[in-house]
Amino acid sequence: MGYDQISVIDGDIVSETDLNRQSLFSRNDIGMNKAEICRNKIEKLNGMKNLSSYSVYLDSYNIEELLSSANIILDATDSLKTRELINQFSVKKGIPWVLTASHGDMGQIKFIFPEKTSCLECMINGRNMVPMNCHYDSVEPFVPQAVSVMSTSMIKKFLSGTEVDGDLRFIEFRDMSIERIRIDRNPGCSVCFKKEYPLLEDKKIKGRQIY
Ligand SMILES: [Zn+2]
């Protein structure tokens, strides 16, 4: 496995409030689609030609087409519902994914490998922990940078064949700490044990309504 092809999926457009922390975007990009800008800028920066961009929000209609051939999925969303959709798809297909979340001066990262580590549902209903959400609150500019460094290094580790654990990494800049929280699989988990995937069947969810 390697970096043969990278797909960037985002239906959102660049707004002024993104510029302080989403370093790929500049003032000239305001109003333009994030996924397309991301692909164009990376191509210009380092000549990478193996990027595809999809200007859509991930939903129960398009997830099969967009993600079924993925080796690994990196979550950079701001929606719990979208993460739950990714989790159910990941478990159903056996595709690993990395959850990332930012809020204020804190960040979270967790690797999820179906049947080997706990999943998002194990974390929420087994450990009573819900990922943070940056959608409604501000995020310090350095937090997404730290989260992206750690999550991409996790992906690199996995793709190079090294085992990655499913512990939650909790970064807190207030005291400059990284806490490692053990998240065991929950034997009562509706997703990774009972194999229930209601969001994949829910065709009422479309586009950004998923939020
Ligand atoms: Zn689970």
Mean pLDDT across the chain, nearest whole number? 91
**Encoding tokens for residue 186?**
């929950």
Q: Which run of H or of E encompasses 100?
A: strand 97-103
> Region 100-109: what's the mean pLDDT?
94
Please tell me the distance between residue 111's alpha carbon and the centre of ligand 1 in angstroms. Answer: 12
One domain for residues 126 and 180? yes
Please tell me the distance between residue 162's alpha carbon and the centre of ligand 1 in angstroms. Answer: 22
Give the burial string for 52-76 (b: 16+ CB within 10 Å, else e). ebbebbbbbeebeebbeebebbbbb
Please tell me the distance between residue 175's alpha carbon and the centre of ligand 1 in angstroms. Answer: 31
One domain for residues 105 and 193? yes
* Ion ligand 1 contact residues with beta carbon within 5 A: 119, 121-122, 189, 191-192
One domain for residues 77 and 106? yes
One domain for residues 204 and 192? yes
- In this predicted structure, the answer to whether residue 137 has a pLDDT above a threshold of 70 is no
One domain for residues 143 and 46? no
Task: Read off the amino acid at residue 81.
Answer: K
Please tell me the distance between residue 44's alpha carbon and the centre of ligand 1 in angstroms. Answer: 40
Please tell me the distance between residue 157's alpha carbon and the centre of ligand 1 in angstroms. Answer: 22
One domain for residues 4 and 71? no
One domain for residues 99 and 200? yes
* pLDDT for residue 136: 57
Domain that holds residue 157: 58-210
Structurally, the chain folds into a number of domains equal to 2
> Region 4-24: what's the mean pLDDT?
89
pLDDT band at 206 (very low <50, low <70, confident <90, very high): low
One domain for residues 20 and 109? no
Please tell me the distance between residue 74's alpha carbon and the centre of ligand 1 in angstroms. Answer: 18
Please tell me the distance between residue 163's alpha carbon and the centre of ligand 1 in angstroms. Answer: 19
One domain for residues 28 and 65? no
Helix or strand or coil: residue 180? strand
In the chain, pLDDT over 90 holds for what percent of residues? 76
Secondary structure of 13-78 in HEC code, one letter for each residue: ECCHHHCCCCCCCCHHHCCCEHHHHHHHHHHHHHCCCCEEEECCCCCCCCHHHHHCCCCCEECCCC
* pLDDT for residue 211: 46
- In this predicted structure, the answer to whether residue 123 has a pLDDT above a threshold of 60 is yes
| 162 vs 128: CA distance, rounded Å | 29
**Could you tell me which residues are beta bridge partners of residue 107?**
102, 171
Please tell me the distance between residue 119's alpha carbon and the centre of ligand 1 in angstroms. Answer: 4
**Highest mean pLDDT pick, 41-45, 117-121, 134-138, 139-143:** 117-121
Q: Which run of H or of E encompasses 104?
A: none
Task: Give burial (CB, 10 Å; 0-12/13-18/19+) of 161.
Answer: exposed
Between these two residues, 3 and 145, which has the higher pLDDT value? 145
- In this predicted structure, the answer to whether residue 209 has a pLDDT above a threshold of 60 is no
One domain for residues 15 and 87? no
> Region 191-200: what's the mean pLDDT?
96
* pLDDT for residue 3: 59
* pLDDT for residue 188: 96
One domain for residues 9 and 19? yes
One domain for residues 51 and 67? no
- In this predicted structure, the answer to whether residue 133 has a pLDDT above a threshold of 80 is no
DSSP tag of 167: P
pLDDT band at 127 (very low <50, low <70, confident <90, very high): confident
CATH number at residue 93: 3.40.50.720
> Region 25-53: what's the mean pLDDT?
93
Computed on alpha carbons and rounded to an integer, the radius of gyration of the chain in Å comes to 17
